[in-house]
Structure 1
């Protein structure tokens, strides 16, 4: 749909304003016109048969598709864009292509096309810039056509602002007319160069409108380009470690120049070769099953080369590939040293590593792409004479890309696959036996029995200590119970005594009250008798 929509947006206004171009190539324009109409019609038929999602389910039923499309605004707009307005040619003449202005109604379809392409392209930033340039071209093209039409209305060559007189052979050719107008329009929008000052009101209004549009266009260009640059910077910050922060830290800590140079070279190697060190952060927003599929497609062939993981079930390998961590080693850097405790195994993706002696000069072997080492150290195999320690010095010859798998990650995964754990341990014992690094079974069993006996004795001693502590606690508990019981009995006696005293005080109080009332009654009687006697 890009071709017919852009064609109509560019050619209809071109033929309307540049009549010479419209009449000179009329058979070509008519052919392209009806070819674009045919593509519009084909698009409607295809849309009528295009499924849609209803709550995540793809609907393909033709009846439902037809009903949905015919009752939508898209159908009305598509139908209006195909109305046979070409019959107006008989009324206005074949030189008035403006009768096909309804073909511009398909613009939303172009936006849909560009949005889908942007989500599917592998270079979205480049596509955004291209889409922006397309919009700018169409805008300048329309402005150039309107400028030429306005010049025709005012009069060619009537002043310095309009298009020069077309009677002049220098400005008479159609190609010169379009290029001059396009250049003049681009000058106005970009405000680059000196444009002639307008003389008429129409010219002033045209320039004012162009300058206002130029402000919006300039803001759009700056904003879109700024977004693209920001997206590129964000992508680099996610893909690669932030070099500036590390450099600032090294300067503040006064790190030696030699070490700083090595670190700068390491960063330079990452950027030049596009080494991605933060895969987990990049894919973090994807669902787990999609991350697993990506990791399987990228890392599973590499993991399958490891001897102990061959013949393992696929689900185990899918869990392990999510645990692989990319690492890059610089030239001369030691990956591991003899005697170090092994916490991870390594798989060589790119580069070469040398197995060197303790002097760091003598090389015993060279490991290249597809080789691996350290796989036995991440399996706690009983009887391993090395005690999970490194048995060799391995140094990177140049820049080497490795995948590491830690012992903790392997243990977590194997906890869910007990059969695979036994299988891997058996393979590891076979490898150690061939290397002569596995203790004899009798000695191993004897050592294991001694360890068990020691553990039993230690447990018995701990049990005796716990029993003594328990007996002491029981005695203390009984003593506390007796003291508590005596205290409770004493409190009960005190409470009973207080109740008796309270009861006695109440009885005495009532007796005193009765005596007082009796005396009062006797005094009243004597007074009355005496009074009567008087």
Structure 2
């Protein structure tokens, strides 16, 4: 489903229309094209015909975000995701190393991957493990590898070192940040109990819990909770989440501002609240009608006030325009009067 005016839409027809009009639909269509049929013409040795499957990467990232939201251990999931990125990077780098070795010639020097004639390298698994191990040495900057002999080999090793310095440093820093945040969250919500235990042992408190207390005698019960009871602190609530969730606080003013832009959602929320109050018997129909009438009058007064402000602004603009025109006429009359005075004096 998707949200429309703050309401979750579950209609399959509308969901289908929205998906067909979305910008991700053409990319998804390209990813499912049967390019594997090109193997019938080119042969199985051209894996590039399946390159369109890589266009599903945004969907993979979206799935990761949803899993991280629903899982009960988000920090462990983040670490596992970063480790997956590490293994994928080493895998791709190993594939490039084997492709370069095949282009230069397998077994031609000590740097490239050995050919199948060397004992133990006849199986493709052994060649893959050697390429994976060699790429791990390069990307982790461990060293202990054969020295490059050709220009292509020097360029490949240099690019691998740069990738290790930039990419792997970023991934390692992300893992450290996740672990530090996890420890900080644990320290904030679950402080170290050892100081309290040492204090209790020093005071000689026995490790025995308080026995269950009997029910309160009649007359000492102040209030009993019942379904729908709204007594107590209304700003305190218990929230149960399916997985990891970010909790935000929405103020009453912000809610009113948002609902003013979504009248349909506001009507649904008001109807739901009215239904709950009627069910609990806490809704006074006469009071609600009086409040609605007062709100209608307030809106009418606001509309009238806005109209008066508009008329006052229009009248003020007309007054300023009339005063400006009157000042221009006075200036013209004064200029004419000055011209006529010298003529009368000469006569």
Shared fold by TM > 0.5? yes
Deviation at 1:191, TM superposition (A): 1.2
Partner of 1:144: 94
Change (3 A) 1:172 1:59: same
In 1, Cα distance between equivalents of 2:136 and 2:53: 26
Partner of 2:163: 213
Change (3 A) 1:171 1:55: same
In 1, Cα distance between equivalents of 2:130 and 2:201: 52
Q: Which of the numbers 199, 213, 218 marks the counterpart of 1:262?
A: 199
Higher relative contact order (CA 8 A, sep 6+): 2
| Counterparts of residues 296-445 of structure 1 (less than 5 Å) | 308=221, 311-314=224-227, 319=232
Deviation at 1:306, TM superposition (A): 5.8
Change (3 A) 1:238 1:69: same
Partner of 2:33: 83
Change (3 A) 1:68 1:310: same
In 2, Cα distance between equivalents of 1:187 and 1:321: 59
Deviation at 1:225, TM superposition (A): 1.8
Partner of 1:154: 104
Change (3 A) 1:88 1:318: farther
Contact between 2:82 and 2:175, CA under 8 Å: does it hold in 1?
A: no
Partner of 2:53: 103
Partner of 1:190: 140
Deviation at 1:165, TM superposition (A): 2.8
Contact between 1:189 and 1:210, CA under 8 Å: does it hold in 2?
A: yes
Partner of 1:169: 119
Residue 113 of structure 1 pairs with residue 50 of structure 2: no
Contact between 1:188 and 1:214, CA under 8 Å: does it hold in 2?
A: yes
Deviation at 1:317, TM superposition (A): 8.2
Deviation at 1:204, TM superposition (A): 1.4
In 1, Cα distance between equivalents of 2:32 and 2:161: 35
Change (3 A) 1:265 1:55: farther
In 2, Cα distance between equivalents of 1:265 and 1:100: 70
Deviation at 1:97, TM superposition (A): 2.4
Contact between 1:303 and 1:317, CA under 8 Å: does it hold in 2?
A: no
Residues 507-532 of structure 1, C-alpha deviation per residue, up to 9 Å, x if partnerless?
Answer: xxxxxxxxxxxxxxxxxxxxxxxxxx
Contact between 1:189 and 1:217, CA under 8 Å: does it hold in 2?
A: no
Partner of 1:202: 152
Structure with the bigger percentage of strand? 1
Residue 142 of structure 2: SS of its match in structure 1? Answer: coil
Unaligned stretches of 5+ in structure 2?
A: 204-211, 238-347
In 2, Cα distance between equivalents of 1:148 and 1:305: 77
- CA RMSD between the two structures: 3.3
Q: Which of the numbers 131, 148, 170 marks the counterpart of 1:181?
A: 131
Deviation at 1:83, TM superposition (A): 1.6
Task: Provide the TM-score with structure 1 as the length reference.
Answer: 0.38
| Counterparts of residues 227-306 of structure 1 (less than 5 Å) | 227-241=177-191, 261-262=198-199
Contact between 2:134 and 2:145, CA under 8 Å: does it hold in 1?
A: yes
Change (3 A) 1:154 1:304: farther
Residue 61 of structure 1 pairs with residue 15 of structure 2: no
Unaligned stretches of 5+ in structure 1?
A: 1-50, 248-258, 267-301, 325-534
In 1, Cα distance between equivalents of 2:214 and 2:12: 48
Partner of 1:135: 85
Residue 232 of structure 2: SS of its match in structure 1? Answer: helix
In 2, Cα distance between equivalents of 1:130 and 1:265: 43
Deviation at 1:311, TM superposition (A): 4.9
Deviation at 1:122, TM superposition (A): 0.9
Deviation at 1:196, TM superposition (A): 1.4
Residue 192 of structure 1: SS of its match in structure 2? Answer: coil
Deviation at 1:113, TM superposition (A): 0.7
In 2, Cα distance between equivalents of 1:184 and 1:242: 44
In 1, Cα distance between equivalents of 2:202 and 2:235: 29
Change (3 A) 1:143 1:65: same
In 2, Cα distance between equivalents of 1:105 and 1:89: 20
Deviation at 1:79, TM superposition (A): 0.3
Residue 168 of structure 1: SS of its match in structure 2? Answer: coil
Residue 72 of structure 1 pairs with residue 22 of structure 2: yes
Deviation at 1:194, TM superposition (A): 1.0
Contact between 1:304 and 1:310, CA under 8 Å: does it hold in 2?
A: no
Change (3 A) 1:63 1:200: same
In 1, Cα distance between equivalents of 2:185 and 2:41: 58
In 1, Cα distance between equivalents of 2:201 and 2:141: 43
Residue 53 of structure 1: SS of its match in structure 2? Answer: strand
Residues 287-315 of structure 1, C-alpha deviation per residue, up to 9 Å, x if partnerless?
Answer: xxxxxxxxxxxxxxx99966636855345
In 1, Cα distance between equivalents of 2:214 and 2:108: 81
